[in-house]
Chain A
Amino acid sequence: MSDPKKEWPLWEVFVRGKGGLSHRHVGSVHAADAKMAIEHARDTYTRRLEGVSLWVVPSAQITASDPGEAAALFEPAEDKVYRHPTFYSIPDHIKHI
């Protein structure tokens, strides 16, 4: 039977599409260590010029917010419309603002 301790750990892969862009999550790979994770990420996620830089992070090291708390975390932003520039009415003849 499979022994989870013997499986190579899972790594999350992030790719920078091109210079000037931030790294974006694209998927995951299994690898014994970080160097191998980079090699596997390269072969799996960048066969067609999809990127110029890779990050790999052990999946176990990622802490995610709880979807059950999504309302508590993100909804308050909805009633703070004054955080958006369109909240303020400025007469049309005032330029460059």
Chain B
Amino acid sequence: MYTTDLSGKNKAEAVSEDAAKVAAFEARVANDEFIEPKDWMPEAYRKTLIRQISQHAHSEIVGMLPEGNWITRAPNLRRKAILLAKVQDEGGHGLYLYAAAETLGVSRDEMTEALLSGKAKYSTIFNYPTLTWADIGAIGWLVDGAAIMNQVPLQRTSYGPYARAMVRICKEESFHQRQGYEIMMHLAQGTPEQKRMAQDAIDRWWWPSLMMFGPPDDKSPNTEQSMRWRIKRETNDELRQKFVDITVPQAHAIGLSVPDPALKWNEARGAHDFGEVDWEEFYAVVRGEGPVAKERMQARQKAWDDGAWVREAARVHAEKRASAKIAAE
């Protein structure tokens, strides 16, 4: 999901690399060994990882916005405390991931600039608006659910710092999904109006959630290389199928339905058949045409600009104190 490559085809690398080193690297990865920051790695591996990890980090950070939108309007103190903790976790996830990307030689500020300039992508899902409280339930359940599906295999990804960040993140995600499902459960058992609100939220979040796994395998040009390098461990379509199979019964269990007339259990496959995702919509959102894409980037830009004086003041203060300390010694 957050790790889906949204950049199109890797440009052919003109870098000539030592064939013996490349072979040794490929063998280590094929052997499920971890690659660590100071180890030799092909330039294309480094670049792909920087793109994937930073895109994942940006998604965590931008992902705080749709939910942050409801913190002050949570229906009670319990829900407010939970939502606050969840959004704080997402901030933490962004920080673990930025730190992992930095070990590959890119700076935090460079990554922030790439996000704000539109050069770096983030998950398409966060360019949809959160219109009602039920959306907070749907996001926790479906969006974090899809994230978990994608992130669990990445705990064994080949790059050590990324894998370790994934372990921490996965530990925290389970609460996110459960609190979301609990919100949906309560609404589904509530008044007819509350139930309608829950259904409306699934109706709007279902397809964008399926898009989170990225384009179909035959239109995902980098999948093969990423699988070989163990920076992706299952294909987009495999993960999407798993998500549908796990999530549909959860919806039915609380009396909600999934907005897909083509959805049906296929006994022979032991899996659900389901309708085609609207890929035109997906690519439009990737291009930056999502319903609230502009607002999201404006909010990030504003946070970055408003924080500039704080970053500057803290840095200058620390430098002054350090030089005063040296002078006193």
A binds B: yes
On A, residues with C-beta under 8 Å from B are: 1-4, 6-8, 10, 27-30, 32-33, 36, 43-44, 47-48, 64, 66-67
Contact in complex: A8, B88 (CB < 8 Å): no
Given A28-B99, A47-B92, do A1 and B113 touch, yes or no (CB 8 Å)? yes
In the complex, what distance in Å separates the CA atom of A43 from the CA atom of B314? 18
Partner of B39, one of A2, A3, A29, A67: A67
Q: How far is the CB of B151 from chain A (nearest CB, A)?
A: 17
* Complex A-B: 14 CB contacts under 8 Å: A2-B110, A6-B315, A27-B165, A27-B168, A29-B95, A29-B99, A32-B315, A32-B317, A32-B318, A33-B321, A44-B92, A48-B172, A67-B38, A67-B40
Does B96 belong to the interface (CB within 8 Å)? Answer: yes
Docked-complex contact A8 and B107, CB < 8 angstroms:
no
Tell me which residues from 286 to 329 in chain B have a Cβ below 8 Å from any Cβ of chain A. 311-312, 314-315, 317-318, 321-322
CB distance from A66 to the nearest CB of B (A): 7
Chain B interface size band reads 20 to 34
Given contacts A2-B109, A4-B107, contact A47 B89 (CB under 8 A): yes
With A2-B109, A2-B113, A33-B321 in contact, do A27 and B99 touch (Cβ < 8 Å)?
yes
Of A27, A43, A64, A66, most B-chain CB atoms within 10 Å? A27
Given A27-B96, A29-B95, the answer on whether A8 and B314 have CB atoms closer than 8 Å is yes
A2 touches B107 (CB 8 A): yes
* Set of chain A residues within 8 Å of B38, measured between Cβ atoms: 64, 66-67
Residues of B within 8 A of A43 (CB): 88, 92
CB distance from A73 to the nearest CB of B (A): 13
CA of A43 to CA of B113 in the docked complex: distance in angstroms? 24
B314 adjacent to A36 (CB under 8 Å): yes
**A4 cross-chain contacts in B, Cβ below 8 A:** 107, 109
Q: Identify 17 new A-B residue pairs, CB closer than 8 A, beyond the known A2-B109, A3-B109, A33-B322.
A: A2-B112, A4-B109, A6-B315, A7-B107, A7-B108, A8-B315, A10-B102, A27-B96, A27-B99, A27-B164, A27-B168, A30-B108, A33-B317, A43-B92, A44-B95, A47-B92, A66-B38
Interfacial residues of chain B within 94-126, with CB under 8 A of chain A in the complex: 95-96, 99, 102, 107-110, 112-113
Beta-carbon nearest neighbor of B164 in chain A: A27
What residue of chain A has the Cβ atom nearest to residue B95's Cβ? Answer: A44
Chain B contact residues: over half helix, strand or loop, or mixed?
Answer: helix
Question: In angstroms, how far is the closest chain A Cβ from the Cβ of B63?
Answer: 17
Could you tell me the distance between the alpha carbons of A58 and B40 in the complex, rounded to whole angstroms? 24
Closest Cβ of chain B to A62, distance in Å, is 11
Closest to A34 in B: B318
Contacts of A28 in B (CB 8 A): 99, 102
8 closest A-B pairs (Cβ-Cβ)? A2-B109, A32-B314, A32-B318, A33-B318, A28-B99, A67-B38, A67-B39, A32-B315
Residue of B108, B164, B312 contacting most chain A CB atoms (<10 Å) = B108
Among B88, B89, B109, the most chain A Cβ lie within 10 Å of the Cβ of B109
**Measured between alpha carbons, how far is A27 from B318 in the docked complex, in Å?**
22
Give Cα A2–Cα B119 distance, bound, in whole angstroms.
15
Instruction: Kindly provide the distance from the CB of B304 to the nearest chain A CB, expressed in whole angstroms.
Output: 12
* Contact residues in A for B281 (Cβ distance below 8 Å): none
A4 to B109, CA, bound (A): 8
**Nearest CB of chain A from residue B89's CB, rounded to whole Å:** 7
Residue of A with least CB distance to B317: A32
Question: Nearest chain-B residue to A4 (Cβ)?
Answer: B107
B278 within 8 Å of A (CB atoms): no
Within 8 A of A (CB), among B29-48: 36, 38-40
User: Which of chain A's residues have a CB closer than 8 A to the CB of B39?
Assistant: 67
